[in-house]
Structure 1
Amino acid sequence: MSLTRRHFLQLSLAVNALYALRMPAAQANPAKLQFGPATPFSFDALKAMARDAATRDYTPPPRPDPAIVQQIDYDAHGKLQYRKDAALWAEGGSAYPISFQHVGMFFPKTVKMNVVEHGQARSIVYDPDLFAAGPDHVARQLAPEPSAFAGFWVHEKRGGPDWKKLEPWATFLGASYFRAVGANGDQGQIGLSARGIAIAPGTSNPEEFPDFVAFWFEPAPKPTDPVIIYALLDGPSLSGAYRFALSRGKGVVMNIESALFLRKDIERLGIAPLTSMYWFSETAKGAGSDWRPEVHDSDGLAMLNGNGEHLWRPLNNPPHISVSSFMDKAPKGYGLFQRDRLFDHYQDGVRYHLRPCAWVEPLGDWGAGAVQLTEIPTDDEIHDNIVAMWVPKEPATAGKSYEFKYRLSWLNEDPSNFPLARCVATRLGNGGQPGKPRPKGVRKFMVEFLGKPLDALAWGEKPEPVIVASRGEISRVEIEPVPDDVAGHWRTHFDLKADGADPVELRCFLRLRDKAVSETWLFQYHPF
């Protein structure tokens, strides 16, 4: 896995903090955006550009002098604050200003920026004076060409609180990574990331990271209008054209269209990928690994399959790379969620309990394939080790093309209409009976569910746990209300004995009078 997204998280927070502390003195002649000549532009033209690029050998995007860029480390990059007065639409023309990010050690490739109005595109000209860095900053040694833009931020609307002092609500920086705030964006909360595409994560081949090599921005005249962004994707194995319609509300909703054109065969093509970090949680924690009870940006994969079944798969930090495929046809949605919202469960000043969730809703029939979850071992929170994505069933071979449309919602919870109880906790411990010798190789699982229709059960009425294991023996199954006086809060616990080291796939849901009253809990257990 790349560290791009984790470094971006650190840098984005650092840049905003440093901006407030290190505002430079006003220049006599501050830089203003300069634009190139106008040329016709449309999404169809961008698709044709991507299609044509896929017929030629791949050429990496230009890089400013690598020897200089490598010196723009964490601290040096933090001093390269973009001058907000020079932001695109800082004074008008669109409700949401856009500022730009500089290349650096972690983002060494240049990205072309363009503005589109009335079907005409003009390039945005890079000028080192757009960034508030002193004359002795190492970035001043870069030549004017190629451009040293690496990404951009979409800022809050003008006309309210000072947008120059607020966190951006959408960011695109590094390869094809992008992210947005959820409903806690006013508290500076970002977390997991999305990507334009994922190529071969969790395979025996090195993972490939194509780049968004150019962006085009259309204005949003009113705050209720979406910000329209077009992007050209390019990499060794494919090229692509993207259209993003970004809407700012309680959280952020992105309507995304993509057209992909393959140069080469791709072992594992990931559509609408989400990337996150999971180190440990209440489920299982090694003694003394960290002082905090939980550390993760997301704690589970939620799915709504083509048959309308809601699934919840708690994340693992496995002993080795693990890839789980959930076969489906015409999926209705999937996402990486942070369900545990209690600060006491984290005790961390970065406020993991406020991290956003991201939900992918296919628009149209995506056909047959699988939601695929890749989990990579990690021993620290600095690594992104989780990928969730859609993998089409048919092989991704050279010369093929694809078009996908989907809605990506950055919120605090599942945006789908969910009528059943949710799984809210998974805990593991030693199996057997208290006060007696614990049998070797037996693990106890405790799974909690909360919500309707469990809160409407009659006195003395109990749901029935339905538990299935891919191998091993299930015993000591019990169901009870959690003794916290919270209506609709139930837990089931059971023992599993499984010999050998092969993973065990577990499945559980609650039913009442032959009807499911909870989503389906899935878990991959690695015996030890």
Structure 2
Amino acid sequence: MMISRRALLAGMAATSVTPVWAAETLITAEAPFSTDLLLEQARTLAQQKYEPKPLIPAPWRELSFEDFNKIQFDPQHGIWTDEDRPLRMDLFTAGLYTTRPATINIVEDGIAKTLGYDLSLFEIRGDLPELPVNDTMGYSGFRLRTTINTPDHFDEFIVFQGASYFRAIARGEGYGLSARGLALRTGSPDGEEFPDFTDFWVEAAGIGDTTFTVHALLNSPSTTGAFSFKITAGDPTRVDVSATLFPRVDLTHVGLGAMTSMFLFDETNRHRFDDFRTSVHDSDGLLIWNGGGERIWRPLANPKVVEISDFTDQNPRGFGLMQRTRDPEKFGDLQAVYENRPSLWITPHGDWGPGAVELVEIPSDKEIYDNTVAYWRPAEPMLAGSEYSFGYAMDWGHEATGLPDLPHVSNTRIGKAFNQINTLVAIDFAAHALFGEDISAIQPVVTANAGTISEGIVQRNPSTGGVRLAFHLSPQDATRIELRAQLVKDDMPISEVWLYRWIA
């Protein structure tokens, strides 16, 4: 059928006496649900030829960005809004960038109820062209709300929308980086594949529940998968993920615990951007706690060509893209509030074996693009016809927890030295009791795989209370150099490891 704005407004006016929509009015089908049934569905689907969901009608796909943004979900029509539950759900319409809808179900007492599409749940803020609604139309995803900040207001804390993307925030934060259910061939010259969460099951929460559960079916030309997310909103917001993959083909380039973020510039590359702000980024570094117990910090970069870095490891203890810069003056942006973006820390459940934390950095000239991806890449391929189960915890918040207590890198500055020939690298380490009052016994250990470096100098930084390690780099004929630095005292490491790829 065809829906015009005039007819839609008339319909909304006719129903305005009942502003709160009960979920039951949207139900189109019911069926039993369990995680075992989800696993069997993914297993069976993997044995069939890949078939994507139908495209939504063309007028929805061809909407302009401005017109699409006129369609906003009305929170009064949220699922469970009229019930005494600690969880509420809002829906997003498919359209524009999301051209194939996801099926969304709510689950209670082992029964899954499929939500039908209803455009009257949305507020239309302005004039729109005629938009058809047929059986291919649906939702692009959803957001969940609970009393995360105050006891009397339901705020959103996690969003599932687009491919296998989702993102969450902790108490008092704003959205920043995103996670993915699975990354396939990221950065590969053969092209990346983006699996979809095609079906969701959101469990109804009972009175007093603080952990909420979402299940998802993943489907792509290369694999299917069954995912479960147990989500506890707070500070941090914790998401425990369990998943099983059923490859259709041999998967040789898989990314587990994948996340994507934005890094435009900071003190390392500020000279390349004519911008009123000091820094622009959702994340400023990759943090790794490797299987050997080393704590590693790799500042992010915005390269001029795609750069891929592999940090080989065995049974990683954790990794994540972090936003360490929390001083508003380091950004100077009163609208974006980058200092309030979350970090995302991944803690594997069990042993993940050999592989590498892989970092993909993509050139970008605008902050609207996510250009940084990080994930765990297993060394061994996942073979077609097999099943692979894994799990991990995600902490969305300001900092990673549970790591060795060492002074961390708070800032990296890179630029020409006083002679305008060499490059000067200055690494600030945050204040810490390990430094003590007398820093004369602290020794820098700095290495480079090309060029030459000066002997590092360690100084107290009066503005931070920590210490600064500075050294000169002479690239000579090298166009890229891998740098490593750490502070030691009495032959014992007293700081995390700083790694950086310098590129001419």
TM-score (norm 2): 0.92
2:48 aligns with 56
Query: Which of residues 347, 367, 382 in structure 2 aligns to 1:361?
Result: 347
Query: Which of residues 429, 447, 469 in structure 2 aligns to 1:449?
Result: 429
Measured after TM superposition, the shift of residue 321 of structure 1 is: 0.6
- 8 A Cα contact 1:420 1:453, kept in partner: no
2:35 aligns with 43
2:8 aligns with none
Taking structure 1 as reference, are residues 265 and 475 closer, same or farther at Cα in structure 2, changes over 3 Å only?
same
Measured after TM superposition, the shift of residue 285 of structure 1 is: 1.9
Amino acid at match of 1:384: D
- Whether 1:142 and 2:132 are equivalent positions in the alignment is yes
1:498 aligns with 475
Amino acid at match of 2:328: F
Q: Secondary structure at the residue paired with 1:286? A: helix
Distance 1:322 1:403 in 2: 30
Measured after TM superposition, the shift of residue 251 of structure 1 is: 3.2
- Whether 1:418 and 2:404 are equivalent positions in the alignment is yes
- 8 A Cα contact 2:22 2:79, kept in partner: no
Amino acid at match of 1:39: A
**RMSD over equivalenced CA pairs, Å:** 2.1
Output aligned runs, 1:81-100, within 5 Å: 81-92=72-83, 94-100=85-91
Taking structure 1 as reference, are residues 224 and 480 closer, same or farther at Cα in structure 2, changes over 3 Å only?
farther
Output aligned runs, 1:70-81, within 5 Å: 70-81=61-72
Taking structure 1 as reference, are residues 474 and 278 closer, same or farther at Cα in structure 2, changes over 3 Å only?
same
Distance 2:69 2:208 in 1: 30
Amino acid at match of 1:513: D
Taking structure 1 as reference, are residues 96 and 519 closer, same or farther at Cα in structure 2, changes over 3 Å only?
same
Amino acid at match of 2:102: V
Measured after TM superposition, the shift of residue 135 of structure 1 is: 10
- The structure with the largest strand share of the pair is 2
1:388 aligns with 374
Amino acid at match of 1:169: F
Measured after TM superposition, the shift of residue 224 of structure 1 is: 4.6
Distance 2:423 2:50 in 1: 51
Distance 1:184 1:28 in 2: 35
Amino acid at match of 2:144: V
Taking structure 1 as reference, are residues 74 and 238 closer, same or farther at Cα in structure 2, changes over 3 Å only?
same
Measured after TM superposition, the shift of residue 354 of structure 1 is: 1.1
2:457 aligns with 478
Query: Which of residues 165, 168, 184 in structure 2 aligns to 1:177?
Result: 165
Distance 2:439 2:327 in 1: 30
1:374 aligns with 360
Q: Secondary structure at the residue paired with 2:68? A: helix
Amino acid at match of 2:443: E
Measured after TM superposition, the shift of residue 316 of structure 1 is: 0.8
Q: Which runs of 5+ in 1 are unaligned?
A: 1-22
Measured after TM superposition, the shift of residue 26 of structure 1 is: 6.7
Taking structure 1 as reference, are residues 112 and 346 closer, same or farther at Cα in structure 2, changes over 3 Å only?
same
1:9 aligns with none
Moved over 6 A (4+): 23-26
Amino acid at match of 2:470: H
Amino acid at match of 1:493: A
Distance 1:425 1:25 in 2: 58
Measured after TM superposition, the shift of residue 108 of structure 1 is: 1.6
2:267 aligns with 282
2:393 aligns with 407
CA deviations 1:425-458 (Å, max 9, x no partner) are 1111223xx4xx544xx31111111133344x14
Q: Secondary structure at the residue paired with 1:169? A: strand
Measured after TM superposition, the shift of residue 144 of structure 1 is: 3.2
Measured after TM superposition, the shift of residue 500 of structure 1 is: 3.3
Measured after TM superposition, the shift of residue 70 of structure 1 is: 2.5
Percent identity (aligned): 34
Distance 1:411 1:461 in 2: 35
Distance 2:14 2:340 in 1: 36
Of the structure 1 ranges 459-468 and 311-320, higher mean CA displacement relative to structure 2 is found in 459-468
Aligned residues: 488
1:262 aligns with 247
Of the structure 1 ranges 39-48 and 70-79, higher mean CA displacement relative to structure 2 is found in 70-79
Q: Secondary structure at the residue paired with 2:501? A: strand
Q: Secondary structure at the residue paired with 2:456? A: strand
CA deviations 1:76-111 (Å, max 9, x no partner) are 232222232321111226311001000121222111
Measured after TM superposition, the shift of residue 473 of structure 1 is: 1.2
Measured after TM superposition, the shift of residue 287 of structure 1 is: 4.8
- 8 A Cα contact 1:420 1:451, kept in partner: no
Q: Which runs of 5+ in 2 are unaligned?
A: 1-11
1:17 aligns with none
- 8 A Cα contact 2:358 2:376, kept in partner: yes
Measured after TM superposition, the shift of residue 225 of structure 1 is: 2.5
